[in-house]
Structure formats: structure tokens, C-alpha cells
Chains A and B, each alone.
Chain A
Amino acid sequence: MSSDNTRLRLSIVGIVVVSLFSTLFARLWYLQVMDTGTFQALATQNRVRTVYDPAPRGRILDRQGRPLVENRGYQAITVIRHEVAGKPEVVARLAALLGVSQTELQRRIDDRRYSPYKPVPVAENVPEETVVYLRENSLAFPGVEAQTVAERTYPHGSLAAHVLGYVGEINDAELSARQGKGYRLGDDIGKSGVEQSFEDDLRGTPGATRLEVDAAGNVLLPALSTTPPKPGHDIQLTIDLDVQGLAEDSLQKGLEAARGQRDRTTGRGFEAPAGAVIVMDPRDGSLLAMASNPTYNPADFVNGIKPDLFAALQDPNNHYPLTNRAIGGQYAPGSTFKLFTALAALRTGIIAPNTTFLDEGAYTVRGCKNNKCTFRNAGGHAYGRVNLPQALTVSSDAFFYNLGATLWLGGGPNRQAIQGAARDLGLGERTGIALAGEQKGRVSDPDTRKKAHEQNPKAYPNGTWYAGDNVNLAIGQGDTAVTPLQLADAYAAFANGGTIVRPRVVARVLGSDGQSVHDFAPEGVRKVAIDPGQRSAILQGLKGAIANPEGTGAGAFAGFPLLNFPVAGKTGTAQVVGKQDTAVFVAFAPADNPQYVVAVVMEQAGFGGAVAAPVARRILDGLAGAPPGPVQLAGGTD
């Protein structure tokens, strides 16, 4: 073989070698320069485990700073998983001490909701002697510890439950909706009420400990970094503990009293299963009380609600205690709607404040020729010749039937003047209170009637709006529906001279030092022009309803110090198909300088003046500084 041939062959070897080394360099460059970021993230993911400590949840206080929701520390037994792994004797010993089966204890230890790098709670609220025993015999219980755990407490039980809401374990939907906010399986989250609306403020920031973990899963100490949990902010409500208590108590007593009354229509007692009360400051929209009955105890949800208890809360026979009827219940307003009809009639000028009408106990629509053309007063009573204030005071249906018919039959833009007045004062739209579950109610008009007919021809066989519908609308019957909060807010706007205020339940967010972090200023939604002369006429009628012996609310307010604390109000009794009458009452006081609006709605409870007004009266007794007595049901026909 020639020397040249050998050179050639060596050159080939050289070329192969150079290309192999070039390949290695290229790959090295790719990994360490071009793609290093990706892999560095993977390396960090590999070795760093973050363990979270929940922050103590903020408290919820009443307007005077009295706690409605607090946290309580209690003793829990925790187990460090890897320390008891492979030690069945420790598990057996602990099971015996706690009085549970070994299988059950092991199931709790293996609960996948808990981080493998954190002690797992296996028993809560254990007796003190168990804790002492564990501490004295710690050698026999490696990896077992007694720890203080915080839980939600409710010093006033179920008081304001619907406002406060409850806290429960986060579910999958909530978890995926809050990605990136540091929530994990097993975390608590506000499920309703203020706990839900102000979750971000109440929750605080969980503490995070970043641990370095080797390939075998061992934790290397000390931790890479530790951030202590930042406690959640306190929430100060506008709710007043005393007023709330008075409202709930009065509502409960009123419902109980109503159940003792005989319903002349059905011949049975009233069901009176549920109701709601709003106490509101019409000047700034602050809610002093918001009661919904039946209610529940948020403490039942602490550490997970028992299934049978939860099933009971969902049972229709129990009338859905979790529903906040004050914002979520939609009721026909009955005669309380006459405020809007009166405003509409005055605004359109079809009557003056002193225009009179002869109430003969019934009203027949002009030109109408069938048996549905005549509308009777509730109770069939004839009030004679009445003007607007008097008609409000005695709740003359015929007077308002006439207004409804006249407005519709007059044609032109006035045809929907009643709906216009009602919408001006906020009916048919959400008030925007910072609580979930608010309904927007409904102001019935030709359009809604047509739509209802198209969607459900069986329930609404007629898609046309007739004069009779306007007659019904004028006294708050028909398809119109309001929430108790809407009703209170609309009357508040009338009471304060025309400002629609956004109802507010939270006054401010407080930092851990007790200083305000964020103030929720009163918010005026819009201003509605109300002519002072017209307002004064209506006010006169509403005051008469309470103060005039003929007034529909007079019986309920017998003996009330009206001279010092004048009250204006309107009773309402709404007929509901297939059910007993809904009792409604709205009032504001002091009538000439209103500080309180009280709205009461009671399902299947009878006349508003007879049942709902006495509940409001008892609350106003308390607000006027008198000691509250029993709820005294009154007579009445509206």
C-alpha cells in the first residue's frame, strides 16, 4: 500500500472526526445557549416545591365594629406522612387514641387534598387531655403533632347569615376560574354573601415556603425562602347588629303570628313560610338590616357541612333557607305599587293632587262589554269621593283603576306612563348591591306581555295588552314583580327627594391595623325629578295611611309615637295564583326628614296592613328608641 494511499485514508479519518466533534459542539450550543431557558425552568420545577399556608381570613364587623364573623384557633392532630410511612404500629396507636378505625385513620392520612410536604390534619377539635397525652408520649408518636388551626366562628349564630354568607371548600369550577391566584384543592373560599363578594379582601395572601427537594423526594433544609401568610382584611358592614337582630326577630315573630290567623279565602291558616325585611338609610343607601326567613347557620359549613344537613337546606319543603329573599325573591308589589301609579298620573297631568273620584267599591272600564270589565275593591269597600292623598291613605283600588284605564285609553305616550315612573325609580333593574344572587324583577308592559305569550302560550294565552291589564298594573297586580330591596330602594328615592342610591352593605375594608384600606362611599345612581308639590301630595297620602284612623296601616301603628317620630308608608296585599296573599309593607321615617326605609314582604301571610305593617312597626319601635314588644297583628283589608 502506497504512502499516498495511507495519507488519503488518514484524511478520511480526520474528516469523520471533525464532523463528529462539530456535531457535539452544535448540540452543546443548542442546549446551553439556544434552549437553556426552557431547561432551566424544568430544573427549577424539578427541585422546588412550594408549600402554602392559608392566611387567617379577615373578620366581618357590623357598622359599629362589633364582630359578626371571627376566627377561632383550635387544636388539631396532624401527621407528617413520610414519618409514619411504614410504621403501622404508630398508626394503630393513634387510631386507638382518637377512637377511629385504622382504615379510617389511614384514609385521612392519605387524603390527597393535602400537600405531601405538609402535616396532614387527621382529627379536629380533639379534647385537651388527648393533646396532653400526645405531648407526654411524643416518642411513641413520631411525626404526630398537635397544632392550632383557625376556623370561622359566628358569635351571633345565624344572625345576618344571608348577608355574611358561608365559606366552604373550593370546587373545580371555582378553582379553574381562579387560576393564577394561588388557590389549591382543599382551600376555603367564600360561597355566598359578603364572604363571596369580598373574597379577595377577606382571604389575604397565603404564606409560601419554597423547599428544595432531591431526586428521592427528600426535603433539604433550610427552606429556600419563606413568606409568612398575610392575614385577610376585615370587612366593616353597614349592617347594625342591633337593627339586624330586631328585624330578624320581628320577621320571625310576624310569620309565626300570621300562621295563627285564619285565611278567609281558603278557610285554612296562613302558611307564612317565608319573608324578607330591609332596613335602609334613604340618604346614602346604607343597609342597616337585611333579613331573609327561613335562614340557616353558616357555622354548619365550617369544616364541611354534613350531607343530610346540606340536603335539608336544598329541600323545597324547607323553602330553600339558603336563598336570600331580600334580593333574590320576586314578589307582586300589590298596593305598594300605587306610589308609581300616583307619580305617573301627576306627572302626565291627567289629575291634579286635589282631583276627586267617586269610589263606589268597583270600577268598570269604559266601553268594555264583557264580564272581565269590572274590577272590585279589595274587600269590596266603597270609599266615596276621594282625592289622591285620600286614595293612598285608604288604598282605594277604584281610584287607581281609573288612573290605569284613563292613561291607557287616552293613548299617546301616556299609555306607558306607569311603567315609566316605576322604571325611573329603579324597578325592573338590579340595584347593583355587592351581593350575588340579586334578581332584577319585572315591570309588566305590552312588550313583556307579548314576549311572555310567545315563549309560553299556555301560561299567557293572550299576547295583547288591554285596558284591563293597565287597570291591574295600576294597583300592582299582574306580572309585575319586585324584590324587597328594589321596593325599599324605590321608596328611599321618593323619601330623599328623587335620588336613586345604590344600596350598600359594606362600608369599608379595614387593614390589620384597623385603619381603612378602602372606603365604599355612598353612590347616587341617578336623580329623578319629582315636583315638590306632587311629592307633598303623595307624602300626605302615605302619612295618612299610618296616622289617619282610616289609613290601611293605622291599626298596626296604634299607640306609636307618631308626633315625635312620624311615619309614612304604604300597605300592599298581592294576590298570587294558587297561593295565599303576599303581605307587603313599605314605610319611611321620620316622614319629613327620612332616616329609615323599612320594607317587609311576607309570603302567603295575608293583608299587608294586618301582618307586614306590624312587623315594620315593631322595627320602627326599636329605631325610635322604644323597647320592642310582641308583633301585634292588626285588622285591615290591604
Chain B
Amino acid sequence: MATATVAGPGTLSRRDGAAPWRHMDFTLLVAVGLIAGLGILMVYSASRNLGHDPTYFLKRQAVFCVLGVGVMAAVATVDYRIFRDFGPLLYAGVVAALVLVLSPLGSNSRGAQAWFQIAGFQLQPSEPAKVALIVCIAAYASHFRGDLDGRRMLGALLLAAVPMGLIELQPDLGTMLVFAAVLLATLMVSGARPRHLALLLLAGVVAVVAVLQLGVLKQYQRDRIGAFLKPTENVRGPAWNLNQSKIAIANGGVTGKGLFKGTQTKLSYVPEQHTDFIFTVVGEELGLVGSGLLLVLFAVVVWRTWRAAALAKDLSGTVICIGVLAMFVFQVFENVGMTMGIMPITGIPLPFMSYGGSATIASFAAMGLVLNVHMRRFS
């Protein structure tokens, strides 16, 4: 470009709409692209034997990724501050969608009222809701210019409690926990008082203990936690699933069994393997080399997101990036940790890896937000 002789980056780019694209984070793009590509391959390996058409899930996941890239580009194009300014509207939309999905318009699958059935595809509103809520919190925080006293923080909590409560009604404990992680991280960088954050953490611990003690949990949730605590019980059930998952990962060893050669994978010993337990395919077929590389790629995404948060032009950009970061880190840690037996089993997908349209597209949208903040760090 011929606009090299400029006084400062800010003055010029404000007038030039294409300028932000020059500050694109290609490292982040490449990392996301590699993860998504590996995800498609792993979904194929895990789902080859599931139906009549071995490429059914492969083709659909590829389509989701293409759609996701489109959504990511669209989200990156519109200045995040415009999203921020529409925060209240976004919030209303999220609440409306979560209410609607609980109505007869939504559909129930495997015990959770969490999907809209639209022309052969299932849309899970809680996935885009996660991303939208991040923007809402950013809007709320920047509205108070990073000064969240007790009352304001309580307000944020109340606002977040509505969608979280709606999700728990589905029920979807995992997604609710993602919300909680996002909330905690964003409140922290939004300027909440340390003692309030400490109180919030304490309340969280008390809540978890109370939930475990008071028997609020559904039977399947208790089984899953039991499986995590006592993995040898329950021959066929959550504990069996968990053992098979660990066997698959460890079976890979350092170099893996080779693509399509994992016996645990090929013979369907790991349940839900193309969705929640996709990491076991990487572990078994590509070994420590492959699964370690995948974790490194995730770490790169997180690092670039953290960096975008640090470089952001304003507080709302920082909060958005930290929200996305919290969402990713929590999902990766919980999902990978669950497959390796260090976290209880919850139905949380691994971003860009697990088969599923809503989650994949929502993850790309979240990346769009990070790219958005990053490339507008000077404007």
C-alpha cells in the first residue's frame, strides 16, 4: 500500500476502512486452521464405522468449518465496539433464544431440551449464547469504565444468572460451568474488587459442596462424578467409559498407533468419540507427539488471545478477549482433563475438534472477536 508516509497509525486508519486487515494475527489464524483441519480428520477416524456412509460426519464437520470461517470473517469485519454498543440487544436475544428452546419449539435429545431442529441441522443456542454473553459483559464493564464496585458487580452477576439459570433448566451443567468460568475471568479484568472476587470464589465452592451434598444433581450427573472418584466401579457405564478413554489415550504411547489404526477407536470402545471424547482419537492414533502438538496449538491460540487482550485499544476489547480466553481454556482443560481422568465427565465439546455445528461455528465466531480486537488495536 502506498500510505506509508503517515504521522501515526491511529490517525490514518481511522479514515481507511481496510486498514485493520493489515494488522491481522496470522499466527492465530494458522493455529486455528491447523486445529480445525486436524479435527475434521479425527472426526472422520472416529466416525468411519458409525453408519452406512463413512464420510457422513467428515463432510458435515467440513461444512461446519467452512461456515465457521465465514462467520469468523463476518464477526471480524464489524468493529467490536459496534457489537458492544448493541450489548443490551444481544442480551435480550440470548435470553429469548434460551427461553424459546425450552418451549415446544425446541427439541429434546438425550434428556436435554437444548436444540432447535432446522432442516436437518440442529442448532444449539447455548453455544452462540456463550459468545454473545462475553460481548454483553464487556459492554457492561466498559459502561462503568472498569470501576465495578459491589453493587455493580452484583448487577453483573444477576444479569449473567438469567441465561445460566435457563441453561441449567435444559439441563446442561457443562455449558453453565463454562459461563461461570467466563464470568469469573471477565469480572476480574473488568475491575471487580479483589475481596468481591474472593467472596465469589468462596460462594462457588460452597455452591458446589451444597449441590453435591443436597442431592440436587440428576442421577447421571452423580454417576459421572462417581466414575471420576472411583473409576473401577460400574462395569458398563460412566466408569467404563472413562476407563476406555484412558486406555485409548495411553495405548497411543509416544508415537501413536497410526492414523486409522487405533484399536480402541476402530472397534468403538470409547463412547461419544467423535464428539466429547475426540481427544482420545488423537491420543491413540497420533500418540504423545500428536496430542502434545494439539495442546501446543491450543496454547498458541490462548497465547495470541491473551496477547490481544493485553494490546487491546480499550477495556471492552480486553474483556472480550479474556472472556474468549476463559471459555477456551475452561473447555480445553475440562474436556481433555475428563478424557484423561483428572476432571469429572461433563458434556463439553473440545473447540474446533469435537463434531458439532453450533459449537464449531460459535468457536470460530469467538475467534472472529479476538481477531477483531487485535486488528483494531490501533484504531
Query: Which residue of the partner chain, among A1, A12, A17, A43, contacts B263 with CB atoms under 8 Å?
Result: A43
Instruction: Report B239-273 CB contacts with A as 1/0, cut-off 8 Å.
Output: 00001101111111110000000011011110000
B32: interface (CB < 8 Å)? no
Q: List the one stretch of A3-11, A129-137, A329-337, A601-609 in contact with chain B.
A: A3-11
Instruction: Report B319-350 CB contacts with A as 1/0, cut-off 8 Å.
Output: 00010011001001100110011100000000
Interface size on B, as a range, is 35 or more
Residues 128-151 of B contacting A (Cβ, < 8 Å): 145-147
A212: interface (CB < 8 Å)? yes
B160: interface (CB < 8 Å)? no
A42 to chain B, nearest CB (A): 5
Q: Which residues of A contact B248 (CB under 8 A)?
A: 43
Q: Is the CB of B325 within 8 A of A17?
A: yes
Instruction: Report B174-196 CB contacts with A as 1/0, cut-off 8 Å.
Output: 00000000000100110100000
A459: interface (CB < 8 Å)? no
Interface residues of B, Cβ cutoff 8 Å to A:
145-147, 185, 188-189, 191, 243-244, 246-254, 263-264, 266-269, 283, 287-288, 291-292, 295, 298-299, 302, 306, 309-310, 315, 318, 322, 325-326, 329, 332-333, 336-337, 340-342
Q: Is the CB of A47 within 8 A of B267?
A: yes
Q: List the one stretch of A28-36, A79-87, A202-210, A506-514 in contact with chain B.
A: A28-36
Query: Which residue of the partner chain, among B252, B267, B292, contacts A220 with CB atoms under 8 Å?
Result: B267
Q: How far is A14 from B358 in the complex, measured between Cα atoms in Å?
A: 28
Known contacts A6-B318, A28-B291; decide if A21 and B299 are in contact (CB<8 Å): yes
Q: Is the CB of A32 within 8 A of B268?
A: no
Q: How far is A424 from B219 in the complex, measured between Cα atoms in Å?
A: 81
Q: Is the CB of A14 within 8 A of B288?
A: no
Residue of B nearest to A20 (CB): B333
Q: How far is A216 from B253 in the complex, measured between Cα atoms in Å?
A: 25
7 contacts between A and B (CB under 8 A): A9-B188, A12-B188, A21-B298, A23-B337, A28-B249, A28-B283, A28-B288
A460: interface (CB < 8 Å)? no
A25-B292, A32-B253, A43-B251 given; 7 more Cβ-contact pairs under 8 Å: A7-B310, A10-B318, A24-B295, A24-B340, A28-B291, A40-B250, A43-B248
B22 to chain A, nearest CB (A): 25
Residue of B nearest to A218 (CB): B267
A118: interface (CB < 8 Å)? no
6 closest A-B pairs by beta carbon, nearest first, are A39-B250, A1-B146, A214-B267, A1-B191, A43-B251, A31-B250
Residues 226-254 of A contacting B (Cβ, < 8 Å): none
Interface of B is mostly: helix
Q: How far is A82 from B240 in the complex, measured between Cα atoms in Å?
A: 24
A46: interface (CB < 8 Å)? yes
Q: Which residues of B contact A177 (CB under 8 A)?
A: none
Q: Is the CB of B299 within 8 A of A33?
A: no
A564: interface (CB < 8 Å)? no
Q: Is the CB of A13 within 8 A of B322?
A: yes
Q: Is the CB of B340 within 8 A of A28?
A: yes
Q: How far is A10 from B325 in the complex, measured between Cα atoms in Å?
A: 11
Interface residues of A, Cβ cutoff 8 Å to B:
1, 5-7, 9-10, 12-14, 16-17, 20-21, 23-25, 27-29, 31-33, 35-36, 38-40, 42-44, 46-47, 212-216, 220
Q: How far is A36 from B340 in the complex, measured between Cα atoms in Å?
A: 13
Interface of A is mostly: helix
Residue of B nearest to A25 (CB): B295
Q: How far is A563 from B233 in the complex, measured between Cα atoms in Å?
A: 86
Q: How far is A7 from B189 in the complex, measured between Cα atoms in Å?
A: 9
Query: Which residue of the partner chain, among A7, A31, A38, A215, contacts B340 with CB atoms under 8 Å?
Result: A31
Query: Which residue of the partner chain, among B264, B288, B322, B337, contacts A24 with CB atoms under 8 Å?
Result: B337
Q: How far is A470 from B313 in the complex, measured between Cα atoms in Å?
A: 121
Q: Is the CB of A23 within 8 A of B342?
A: yes
Q: Which residues of A contact B263 (CB under 8 A)?
A: 43-44, 46-47, 212
Q: Is the CB of A35 within 8 A of B299?
A: no
Residue of B nearest to A46 (CB): B269
Known contacts A10-B309, A17-B325, A215-B267; decide if A35 and B191 are in contact (CB<8 Å): no
Q: Is the CB of A14 within 8 A of B249?
A: no
Q: How far is A602 from B87 in the complex, measured between Cα atoms in Å?
A: 112
A33 to chain B, nearest CB (A): 6
Residue of B nearest to A34 (CB): B250
Q: Which residues of B contact A38 (CB under 8 A)?
A: 250
Residue of A nearest to B299 (CB): A21
Residue of B nearest to A16 (CB): B329
Q: How far is A44 from B248 in the complex, measured between Cα atoms in Å?
A: 11
- The CB with the most chain A CB atoms within 10 A, among B145, B248, B288, B325, is that of B288
Q: How far is A32 from B256 in the complex, measured between Cα atoms in Å?
A: 9
Q: Which residues of A contact B298 (CB under 8 A)?
A: 21
Query: Which residue of the partner chain, among B287, B329, B337, contacts A27 with CB atoms under 8 Å?
Result: B337
Q: Is the CB of A27 within 8 A of B340?
A: yes
Residue of A nearest to B292 (CB): A28
Q: Is the CB of B283 within 8 A of A24?
A: no
Q: Which residues of B contact A213 (CB under 8 A)?
A: 267
Q: Is the CB of A214 within 8 A of B268?
A: yes
Q: How far is A25 from B244 in the complex, measured between Cα atoms in Å?
A: 20
Residue of A nearest to B264 (CB): A43
Q: Is the CB of B306 within 8 A of A10?
A: yes
Q: Which residues of B contact A44 (CB under 8 A)?
A: 263
Q: How far is A9 from B325 in the complex, measured between Cα atoms in Å?
A: 14
Q: Is the CB of A5 within 8 A of B191?
A: yes
Q: Which residues of B contact A42 (CB under 8 A)?
A: 243, 247, 251
Q: Is the CB of A31 within 8 A of B246?
A: yes
Q: How far is A90 from B272 in the complex, measured between Cα atoms in Å?
A: 36
Q: Is the CB of B185 within 8 A of A21?
A: no
Q: Which residues of B contact A23 (CB under 8 A)?
A: 333, 337, 342
Q: Is the CB of A1 within 8 A of B147?
A: yes
Query: Which residue of the partner chain, among A13, A29, A39, A47, contacts B188 with CB atoms under 8 Å?
Result: A13
Q: How far is A349 from B303 in the complex, measured between Cα atoms in Å?
A: 110
Query: Which residue of the partner chain, among A12, A13, A32, contacts B287 with CB atoms under 8 Å?
Result: A32
Q: Is the CB of B246 within 8 A of A13?
A: no
Query: Which residue of the partner chain, among B189, B252, B292, contacts A9 with CB atoms under 8 Å?
Result: B189
Known contacts A13-B189, A27-B342; decide if A32 and B318 are in contact (CB<8 Å): no
A5 to chain B, nearest CB (A): 7
Q: How far is A28 from B291 in the complex, measured between Cα atoms in Å?
A: 8
Q: How far is A216 from B191 in the complex, measured between Cα atoms in Å?
A: 54
Q: Which residues of B contact A10 (CB under 8 A)?
A: 189, 306, 309-310, 318, 322
Q: Which residues of A contact B185 (CB under 8 A)?
A: 13
Q: Which residues of B contact A21 (CB under 8 A)?
A: 295, 298-299, 302, 333
Residue of B nearest to A2 (CB): B146
Q: Is the CB of B299 within 8 A of A212?
A: no
Known contacts A12-B188, A13-B185, A46-B264; decide if A39 and B251 are in contact (CB<8 Å): yes
Q: How far is A307 from B310 in the complex, measured between Cα atoms in Å?
A: 87
Residue of A nearest to B321 (CB): A10
B350 to chain A, nearest CB (A): 12
Q: Is the CB of B333 within 8 A of A24?
A: yes
Q: How far is A234 from B250 in the complex, measured between Cα atoms in Å?
A: 48
